[in-house]
Structure 1
Amino acid sequence: MSETAVATLIDGDASAFTFGCDYNPEQWSRETWLEDARLMNEAGVTLVALNIFGWAQLEPERGSYDFDALDAIIEILHDHGIGINLGTATASPPPWFSADYPESLPMMADGTRREFGGRQAFCPSSPAYREHALALVEKIAERYGAHPAVRLWHVSNEIGCHNAHCYCEISSEAFRGWLKERYASIDDLNDAWGTSFWSQRYASWEHIRTPKLTVSTGNPGQALDFMRFSSDELLAHYKAEQAILRRHSSAPVTTNFMVTAHIRNQDYWAWAPHMDVIANDHYLDHRLGDPRSELSFAADATRGLAGGRPWMLMEQATSAVNWQPLNIAKAPGEMIRNTLSHVARGADGISFFQWRASLQGSEKFHSAMLPHAGTDSSVWREVVELGDILTRLAEVTGSVVEAEVAIVFDWQAWWATDLDSHPSVQVRYLAQVHAAYNALLGAGITVDIVAPGAPVDAYTLVVVPSLYSVTDAAAQVLVDYVAAGGHAVVTFFSGIVDEHDRVRPGGYPGAFRELLGVRSEEFVPLHPSTVLELSDGQSARLWSERLRLEGAEAVSVFANGPVHGVPAVTRNTVGSGVAWYLATALDEASLAETLARAAREAGVTVPVAHPVGVEIVRRVSASGSWLFIINHTDASFEYRTQGTEILTGAEIGTPASATNETAQNGTLDVPAGAVRVVRESRN
């Protein structure tokens, strides 16, 4: 869709944020519905997700439909000028379905089935599920496809969150069908999976099953293909629902992705082209060391899935969630800062789970826009304040984020890197991606997240963290980019295997060996407590290699440890470009220093020095630019700029005029915990 696709969900207005929530009216009386609609207007809500888990209400018995309640709430919201993000209700089948089709319940890798009573209690390959789910979607689309309140269709919900991988016999049959389409013959499959190992060679397709738990380690090629199959199987069902909706409605169709640190089940690069609007759910994960920086990464990755265009935050929390070991409430102002971090990084739509806090069920202690405490609460007041802020920032919608640096990130590489029987269980893909991202974030450098093989010619610097698995074609894109004058940084455990998890012979780092001008004979992983000192004073851990130079120069060498004197960081000139290799896991400060040096050499515009915890992001359009400064620290921050601060109305600096052609920067004070958005006056 166009750059203003998210904004136009509201009455065709291309200059307004969508602001909304999930709403579960089935949990409340009809009298409460009217009160909720009034309060939604007070908060500035413009888009409400309905019918996400409505299957049991719409089809309480097999083949018997009741739309009276959904009709009523849609009319109430429509009468109050609120648009509908209408769910297809297929995320969780009702009790009668699981009772009638017990074979549809999902099976785990250990061969046990999960029972009805939670959500997503179905096998994605189940023909019965597909039949009944699509019949329901047909009824919903027929009834509401032309309704003027329906602005967006919401297929299922957080697809694959719980049931992405089913190991039952139905799934085995579907897996075999998928494999037959992927491979021309059983011999090709055997070659791809390396089944000459451990007497695993298949003589017939019918012998292949899903990779349940085995007494030893399983076949990594089979595991990778099963994850690909599982992602594709869920996508196929999404497309089946989408096709029905498009027959009955012209409204855009999407589903809510889960670009987050704890969910990796779908290859969203493969899903994104099928979405009319890219939407993501994101919750701060306090199990991480730095949940705030992970929020920024997720927002940038979601923008990458949107091809750099604006996107929609479908769910977030006003305060605590209910599903972490410790569900931490947000501090005053934190929800607004979190939200505007998403906005700064490209979100033109903001929504929450959920509108009114539930009184029953496993999510009863999940925060909401309207909490248990009601409107006389700090959460409610902050929600109303956010609605006002988004109204004042409406001019930003449709603009895009300015970035000179790209990070290559891949869900399939994540799957492959985290398989077992690798040199070190301490090396995890996402941790290495986050380390590189956080180093750039700390320097104030905004990055785009791109897929392997995506065009990168527009970027000044490309960073490739621990891309263990990569295709020949994707590797060649990076080689051509550097040869044409680009600058790249590749970190350890990259380029090692192809898409079948087959090691590239000839020495590491495999696909990138010639580009980097180095050759490693052997990995030398380390105990996590071991600290490596480098010749330039930097430090590292986890990883080292028996590396030798084959054209590159050594920027630093290991000053201690098992490969003392061997190059640790290298730099290679290729054509008119430069390729760096980091043969170890540099510590936080060392990685930041190295990436900052690579960025400066590449010509990246590095922002003014600022404290860690201050985000500075720019959105631009043909009509102007907007600088977001988000101060997550407990101290005020001053920034030299020139323009109009939108949230306070303050003028900063002296604008250029007919008699004074030079605009003079002024000082913008950003108080502790505050956000400032400057409409820039730029020479």
Structure 2
Amino acid sequence: MPIWYGGDYNPEQWPREVWDEDASLMRTAGVNLATVGVFSWSRLEPRDGEFDFEWLDVVLEKLHAAGVRADLATATASPPPWLTLKHPEILPVTASGVRLSTGSRQQYCPSSPLYRGYATRLVTALAERYGSHPALEMWHINNEYGCHVSRCYCDVSAGAFRSWLRDKYGTVDGLNDAWGTAFWSQTYSSFDEVFPPRDAPTFKNPAQLLDFDRFGSHELLECFRAEAAILRAATPDIPLTTNFMGFFKPANYWEWAKELDFVSDDSYPDPADDTAYLQSAMTRDLMRSLAGDKPWVLMEQAPSAVNWRPQNAAKSPGQMRAWSYQAIAREARGIMYFQWRQSIAGAEQFHSGMVPHSGTDTRVWREIVDFGAELKALSGVLPSTVAAPPVEAAIVLEWESWWALEQAARPTRLSYAAQISAWYKAFAQAGLRVRFVHPGADLGSYRVVVAPTLFLASEADLENLGAYARDGGTLIVTFQSGIVDENLRVRPGGYLGPLQRTLGLWIEEFTPLAVRPAALAGTVTSSSATWSEVVRLNGATVESEFTDGPAAGGPAITSNGTAWYVAADLAADGKAALVETILARLGLDLPRPVPGVEHITSQSDTYVINHNPLPYVVELDGTDLLTGKPARGLELPQYGVAIVRP
């Protein structure tokens, strides 16, 4: 299959005489796919019900003549000014009751039937006109759902929330029981009394907050489904997608991924951060996990600098290419950018483009052209199918646990994403490939599974994790796991639920460390950052103990067969030491990567990517697919890449 290469193309921002130059430059750059029309609603429908497709007809014909396929967007991410003037009620409302205005983007309430009606009318018109167009390769629905407005608190959303709750609970008594409304005199006598969790005097009902997060992700997904239904009916053979945003908290991507024909992602790591390549790698592994057994597309990245950080560093020479190969090594078969031509007006005018403000006599343009030629040569060489590496670790990732853990009124403030990231780095630095899994997934193929701070979990999911360990899989469970069920009801009697039996222990008390870390001694020596707890043993073996702090002398790390429990928020060295200990007990002697150098095995090929300032010499036998030279002894400069095929 080809490797898709291109970016967001916004010809409506430019006079028509530029369009011919665009087509010519795309041929020069090796572009074979352009995302068209993402923010063009006001151009496509300048007045209510009056469609103007003539300009898009011309653009698509020019792309087709240049051999560029179209990722045609539905343009529904930003309603035009005439629509919000006519129907201001579609504008979103914040938790504090402020109605947001037009003049930006994503200015719509996801639950608004008016918004959905106008959006689906536009999508229907696009499908009718371009469904059989020879340039059409795929549909791009909306854009970055929930990026700016992930939750709306208006009266329309309130009504939709009540309907969602009726469907879920059936009766208001069922809701009262699930939400624990006997606390603070919150008992409802009718669904009409229920509102979104708007700003309130103090802590809001935790179960209400969780259900509103579920509802919010669902309502965004319903917007997607409404458009997808039209496109699938009109063009059943044309795949469709919408762009994810990595570890994006408001949308449960496990549910979203089921709805897509292929997963796509927008990724903007900070070029000034020396460790950003690890965060970038983690995001690509998340997409690989969400995509399952299908390739995915890196839909957006910056050719150089973005424009929305306090300090917007430009990418160094070769950095864009290296980060792109991170995605290809993890089964991406599309490398795209935002955007094709750098804007001269608007809020993103200083966001880099494939064609920079300074034109084609620039480093950025030369890198774009050279990389395009390289990808074209690889298109017929790389496998088109996806296969998992032989040895992998799995990290349990649960969006609902993320929502629950980071609410207010918790034992201490914890970042779920930071916990996930820290364990990812520990595994990656030990040479393990990582997949992300839902706690209810089939875990049998993984040698090691870690469940970091799985605060919310169903009985079935906890049983699934326990069964994995009892069947011989190595399971690591960390603090603040199995604390509450799906309704945020605490599991009394030592927390952990069914995992108590698997882990051979129970938790007497949380003892968060507010002043200073507590040290650990034993099999694993480390300092813990923000957490300790009093652990009571019921068959487990103590591997390490707290040496100071409120839990001094008590278990910090335990094992019970192949099930491990970590009662401390281990520092990076502690996590690394624990992973090394576990790998040694498993008898896995994996090659340890040099810090800053990635070795990613993808079927028969090994990608070697050097993120370090110092050169790295490849030590693998085979041929580098990028140069055709023997791989062993090949010296890679900073951001150098080799693809070694035995």
Which TM-score applies when normalising by structure 2? 0.97
C-alpha separation in 2, matches of 1:528 and 1:83: 58
Q: Decide which of 271, 282, 286 is 1:301's aligned counterpart.
A: 286
Asked if 1:589 corresponds to 2:573, the answer is yes
C-alpha separation in 1, matches of 2:627 and 2:240: 37
Instruction: Check whether the contact 1:516–1:571 (CA below 8 A) recurs between aligned residues.
Output: yes
Query: Relative to structure 2, which stretch is displaced further, 551-560 or 279-288?
Result: 279-288
Q: Which residue of 2 aligns with 1:560?
A: 548
* Gap change, CA 1:410 and 1:21, over 3 Å in 2: same
**What fraction of aligned residue pairs are identical, expressed as a percent?**
45
Q: Which residue of 1 aligns with 2:417?
A: 430
Asked if 1:248 corresponds to 2:234, the answer is yes
Q: Which residue of 1 aligns with 2:42?
A: 56
* Gap change, CA 1:257 and 1:362, over 3 Å in 2: same
C-alpha separation in 2, matches of 1:99 and 1:207: 31
Q: Which residue of 1 aligns with 2:594?
A: 611
Asked if 1:548 corresponds to 2:536, the answer is yes
C-alpha separation in 2, matches of 1:528 and 1:243: 54
Asked if 1:354 corresponds to 2:354, the answer is no
Q: Which residue of 1 aligns with 2:617?
A: 638
Q: Which residue of 2 aligns with 1:673?
A: 639
Instruction: Check whether the contact 2:528–2:571 (CA below 8 A) recurs between aligned residues.
Output: yes
C-alpha separation in 2, matches of 1:581 and 1:410: 19
Look up the equivalent residue of 1:580 and give its one-letter code. Answer: W
CA deviations on 1:87-143 (whole Å, 9 max, x unpaired) are 011111100100011111100010111000100101011111111111111100000
CA deviations on 1:312-366 (whole Å, 9 max, x unpaired) are 1110111111112221111111111111111111211110000000001110000
CA deviations on 1:348-403 (whole Å, 9 max, x unpaired) are 11100000000011100001111111111111111112112222332224243415
**RMSD (CA atoms):** 1.5
Asked if 1:496 corresponds to 2:475, the answer is no
* Gap change, CA 1:354 and 1:329, over 3 Å in 2: same
Q: Which residue of 2 aligns with 1:663?
A: none
Q: Which residue of 2 aligns with 1:655?
A: none
1:191-270 counterparts in 2 under 5 A?
191-249=177-235, 250-260=237-247, 263-270=248-255
**How many residue pairs align between the two structures?**
641
Pairwise CA distance, 1:605: 5.5
Pairwise CA distance, 1:590: 1.4
Instruction: Check whether the contact 2:539–2:560 (CA below 8 A) recurs between aligned residues.
Output: yes
Instruction: Check whether the contact 2:356–2:365 (CA below 8 A) recurs between aligned residues.
Output: yes
Asked if 1:486 corresponds to 2:473, the answer is yes
Look up the equivalent residue of 2:479 and give its one-letter code. Answer: F
Q: Residue 528 of structure 2: SS of its match in structure 1?
A: strand
C-alpha separation in 2, matches of 1:604 and 1:390: 35
Look up the equivalent residue of 2:627 and give its one-letter code. Answer: T
Q: Which residue of 2 aligns with 1:517?
A: 504
Look up the equivalent residue of 2:418 and give its one-letter code. Answer: A
Asked if 1:17 corresponds to 2:21, the answer is no
* Gap change, CA 1:113 and 1:287, over 3 Å in 2: farther
C-alpha separation in 1, matches of 2:551 and 2:45: 66
1:140-179 counterparts in 2 under 5 A?
140-179=126-165
Q: Which residue of 1 aligns with 2:494?
A: 507
Query: Relative to structure 2, which stretch is displaced further, 64-73 or 285-294?
Result: 285-294
Q: Which residue of 1 aligns with 2:348?
A: 363
C-alpha separation in 2, matches of 1:225 and 1:671: 50
Instruction: Check whether the contact 1:348–1:397 (CA below 8 A) recurs between aligned residues.
Output: no
Query: Relative to structure 2, which stretch is displaced further, 265-274 or 398-407?
Result: 398-407
Instruction: Check whether the contact 1:469–1:498 (CA below 8 A) recurs between aligned residues.
Output: yes
Instruction: Check whether the contact 2:520–2:544 (CA below 8 A) recurs between aligned residues.
Output: no
Instruction: Check whether the contact 1:110–1:213 (CA below 8 A) recurs between aligned residues.
Output: yes
Instruction: Check whether the contact 1:568–1:583 (CA below 8 A) recurs between aligned residues.
Output: yes
Instruction: Check whether the contact 1:440–1:596 (CA below 8 A) recurs between aligned residues.
Output: no
Look up the equivalent residue of 1:372 and give its one-letter code. Answer: H
Q: Residue 495 of structure 1: SS of its match in structure 2?
A: coil
C-alpha separation in 1, matches of 2:485 and 2:203: 20
Q: Which residue of 2 aligns with 1:527?
A: 514
Pairwise CA distance, 1:187: 1.1
Q: Decide which of 621, 627, 633 is 1:648's aligned counterpart.
A: 627
Instruction: Check whether the contact 2:505–2:538 (CA below 8 A) recurs between aligned residues.
Output: yes
Q: Which residue of 2 aligns with 1:119?
A: 105
C-alpha separation in 2, matches of 1:190 and 1:308: 42
Pairwise CA distance, 1:597: 1.9
C-alpha separation in 2, matches of 1:451 and 1:231: 17
* Gap change, CA 1:175 and 1:605, over 3 Å in 2: farther
Asked if 1:333 corresponds to 2:299, the answer is no
Q: Decide which of 460, 466, 482 is 1:473's aligned counterpart.
A: 460
Look up the equivalent residue of 2:578 and give its one-letter code. Answer: T
Q: Decide which of 357, 372, 381 is 2:366's aligned counterpart.
A: 381
C-alpha separation in 1, matches of 2:178 and 2:245: 30
C-alpha separation in 1, matches of 2:214 and 2:510: 28
CA deviations on 1:627-648 (whole Å, 9 max, x unpaired) are 0011100122234322111111
Q: Which runs of 5+ in 1 are unaligned?
A: 1-13, 653-665
Q: Residue 607 of structure 2: SS of its match in structure 1?
A: strand
Look up the equivalent residue of 1:614 and give its one-letter code. Answer: V
Q: Which residue of 2 aligns with 1:190?
A: 176
Pairwise CA distance, 1:651: 2.2
Q: Residue 594 of structure 2: SS of its match in structure 1?
A: coil
Asked if 1:83 corresponds to 2:66, the answer is no
Q: Which residue of 2 aligns with 1:372?
A: 357
C-alpha separation in 2, matches of 1:511 and 1:674: 48
Pairwise CA distance, 1:596: 2.2
* Gap change, CA 1:289 and 1:497, over 3 Å in 2: farther
* Gap change, CA 1:65 and 1:108, over 3 Å in 2: same
Q: Which residue of 1 aligns with 2:299?
A: 314
Q: Residue 586 of structure 1: SS of its match in structure 2?
A: coil
Look up the equivalent residue of 1:638 and give its one-letter code. Answer: V
Q: Decide which of 576, 586, 601 is 1:602's aligned counterpart.
A: 586
Instruction: Check whether the contact 2:298–2:334 (CA below 8 A) recurs between aligned residues.
Output: yes
Look up the equivalent residue of 1:122 and give its one-letter code. Answer: Y
Query: Relative to structure 2, which stretch is displaced further, 375-384 or 596-605?
Result: 596-605
Q: Decide which of 407, 417, 436 is 2:395's aligned counterpart.
A: 407
C-alpha separation in 2, matches of 1:146 and 1:600: 58
Query: Relative to structure 2, which stretch is displaced further, 389-398 or 330-339?
Result: 389-398
Q: Decide which of 622, 625, 628 is 2:607's aligned counterpart.
A: 628
Pairwise CA distance, 1:404: 1.7
* Gap change, CA 1:383 and 1:286, over 3 Å in 2: closer
C-alpha separation in 1, matches of 2:279 and 2:592: 22
Q: Residue 335 of structure 1: SS of its match in structure 2?
A: helix
C-alpha separation in 1, matches of 2:80 and 2:233: 26
C-alpha separation in 2, matches of 1:287 and 1:478: 39
Q: Residue 274 of structure 1: SS of its match in structure 2?
A: coil
Query: Relative to structure 2, which stretch is displaced further, 294-303 or 521-530?
Result: 521-530
C-alpha separation in 2, matches of 1:57 and 1:220: 43
Instruction: Check whether the contact 2:130–2:136 (CA below 8 A) recurs between aligned residues.
Output: yes
Instruction: Check whether the contact 1:641–1:668 (CA below 8 A) recurs between aligned residues.
Output: no
* Gap change, CA 1:510 and 1:288, over 3 Å in 2: farther
C-alpha separation in 2, matches of 1:159 and 1:274: 14
Instruction: Check whether the contact 1:38–1:80 (CA below 8 A) recurs between aligned residues.
Output: yes
Pairwise CA distance, 1:668: 4.3
1:16-55 counterparts in 2 under 5 A?
16-55=2-41
C-alpha separation in 2, matches of 1:286 and 1:381: 19
CA deviations on 1:44-89 (whole Å, 9 max, x unpaired) are 1110000111110011111111111011000000011100000011
Instruction: Check whether the contact 2:303–2:315 (CA below 8 A) recurs between aligned residues.
Output: yes
